[in-house]
Amino acid sequence: MGKALIIGAGGVASVVVHKCCQNYEVFEEICIASRTLEKCEAIKNKLLGSRTKIQTAQVDADNTEMVISLIKSFEPDVVINVALPYQDLTIMDACLATGVDYVDTANYEPPDIPKFEYKWQWAYKEKFSEKGITALLGSGFDPGVTGVFCAYAQKHYFDEIHYIDIVDANAGDHGYPFATNFNPEINIREITANGRYFENDQWIETAPLAIKGVYDLPEIGPKDIYLLYHEELESLAVNIKGIKRIRFWMTFSEKYLNHLNVLQNVGMTSIKPIEYEGRQIIPLQFLKAVLPDPASLGPRTKGKTNIGCIIQGIKDGKPRTYYVYNVCDHEESYKEVGSQAISYTTGVPAMIGASLVIKGIWKKPGVFNVEEFDPDPFMEALNKFGLPWQESFSPKLLP
C-alpha cells in the first residue's frame, strides 16, 4: 500500500521498523535513514526475510536540503521522524518542500533552550494546510497514546471532562545504578525542568520534582510519583474543551533521584558549553556519552510499565470517573522486537499513526495533535499491535 521514510536509527526507530514489517500490507517499502549508516544497516539486518522491502541511507536531518533530496529519491508517502526533537523543523520543512506527510513523537526543542513547546510546530499549520499535507504531532505513548486515551474517553464516556491525571510508571529494573530509558540528553532535560500543570485557565509552575504523591498502579503496585511538565499537557489543555485541571506524573526511584541530584549538583546536567582541554564541550552531552546506551538496556530490563489517564467529568448530568491504561512488560517487548518497553511503547504508536495517515484515515491538511482525530481506529490498532489497554470505572483518584 505505501512507503515510509523512517529518520533515526535509535531505540525507538528499531521498534518502528519491526512494527512496520509486521504491518507489511500497509508498509510495503521502508527506508531507514540516520546520521550513522551502520546503525540503519544493523536494524535492517535484524529483519532480513521480512515481506516489507527495506533500504537504508545516510542523512543529516539538521540539513533540510539533504532530507529533501532523500525524499525525492525514495518518494515516500510519509516521513516518520524518530530522530531527536531538534530535527523536527528541518524535517517538516523538507516535507513541505516535497509535499509528503509527516509524523513525529516529540515536539521541537531548540538545542540551546531546554523548553519544549508546540508553538514552533503549530506555526506550520497554515503552510501544511495550503500544501494539502498532514503533520501528525506526538504519536508516541506520552505524548501520543495518552492523547488518544483522552479523546476516546471524551467520545464514548463523557459529556464534559473536568480533570485529567496522566500517570507514567516504569517499574523496570536494568540493574545499572543509573541509566535513562531513552535518549539521556532529552530525558534529563525533561526531568530537571520546572514542573508545570494547568488549572482554572492558567499554568502553575513548580520547582523541579517539588510535588510528590503515591499511586497504587494495577500490575505494578504503589509507587512514588512526581509532578512533571510534559508536552501533551499543552495540546490537551487546548483540545479537551471545558478542562479544569490537567497534570502529569512520573515514577522515579530514590536511587535514580539521588544520582540525578549529584549529577546536577556537580554541573553534569548543564547545557551551557564549558572549555575543556582547549575545546568547548556541553556537560550533558558528555554525560550522555558515558551513560549506558538506552538501546543496550533491552536484554537486562525486567518488570513492567503502566501508563494511563485517570479522568473525571460528567455524563448525563452525573459525575463519572474513568481510568484507561496500558501495561507493557520489558522482557516480553525484548523477546518480540529486541527492545525494552520504553522504546516499544513509543515505536508501536508511531507506526500506528503513520499507518492511519497512509491509509487516509487520519489524513487532513494541516498540523494536528493525535487527540484531534477519531480515536477508535487507533485504539483498535493498539490492541492488535501489542499495546492492549484496560479500563476501570472506579479508579482511586489523586488528591
Ligand X SMILES: NC(=O)c1ccc[n+]([C@@H]2O[C@H](COP(=O)([O-])OP(=O)(O)OC[C@H]3O[C@@H](n4cnc5c(N)ncnc54)[C@H](OP(=O)(O)O)[C@@H]3O)[C@@H](O)[C@H]2O)c1
Interface residue list for ligand X (CB under 6 A): 8-13, 34-36, 39, 59-62, 82-85, 87, 105-106, 140-144, 182-183, 186, 294-295, 342, 346
Q: How far is the CB of 307 from ligand X (least distance, A)?
A: 8
C-beta of residue 30 within 8 angstroms of C-beta of residue 43: no
Please say which residue, 186 or 209, places its beta carbon nearer to ligand X. Answer: 186
Rounded to whole angstroms, how far apart are CA atoms 299 and 334?
7
Q: How far is the CB of 111 from ligand X (least distance, A)?
A: 10
Give the residue from 241, 231, 357, 297 showing the smallest Cα distance to 12.
Answer: 297
Give the residues across from 393 on adjacent strands.
none
Q: How far is the CB of 227 from ligand X (least distance, A)?
A: 18
**Torsion over CA: 54, 2, 90, 361 (sign):** negative
Please say which residue, 313 or 356, places its beta carbon nearer to ligand X. Answer: 356
Q: How far apart are the first and last CA of the chain?
A: 48
Question: Hey, is 12 helix, strand or coil?
Answer: helix
Q: How far is the CB of 183 from ligand X (least distance, A)?
A: 4
CB-closest chain residue to ligand X: 10
Kindly compute the dihedral angle of the four CA atoms of residues 140, 143, 145, 147, in this order, to the nearest 10 degrees: -150
Please say which residue, 186 or 328, places its beta carbon nearer to ligand X. Answer: 186
Give the residue from 168, 208, 204 showing the smallest Cα distance to 192.
Answer: 208
Q: How far is the CB of 50 from ligand X (least distance, A)?
A: 20
Please say which residue, 14 or 22, places its beta carbon nearer to ligand X. Answer: 14
Q: How far is the CB of 34 from ligand X (least distance, A)?
A: 4
C-beta of residue 177 within 8 angstroms of C-beta of residue 256: no
Please say which residue, 312 or 345, places its beta carbon nearer to ligand X. Answer: 345
Strands 53-58 and 195-199, bridge-based pairing: unpaired
Q: How far is the CB of 101 from ligand X (least distance, A)?
A: 18
C-beta of residue 152 within 8 angstroms of C-beta of residue 363: no
Rounded to whole angstroms, how far apart are CA atoms 57 and 34?
7
Please say which residue, 23 or 105, places its beta carbon nearer to ligand X. Answer: 105
Please say which residue, 98 or 343, places its beta carbon nearer to ligand X. Answer: 343
Strands 2-7 and 27-34, bridge-based pairing: parallel
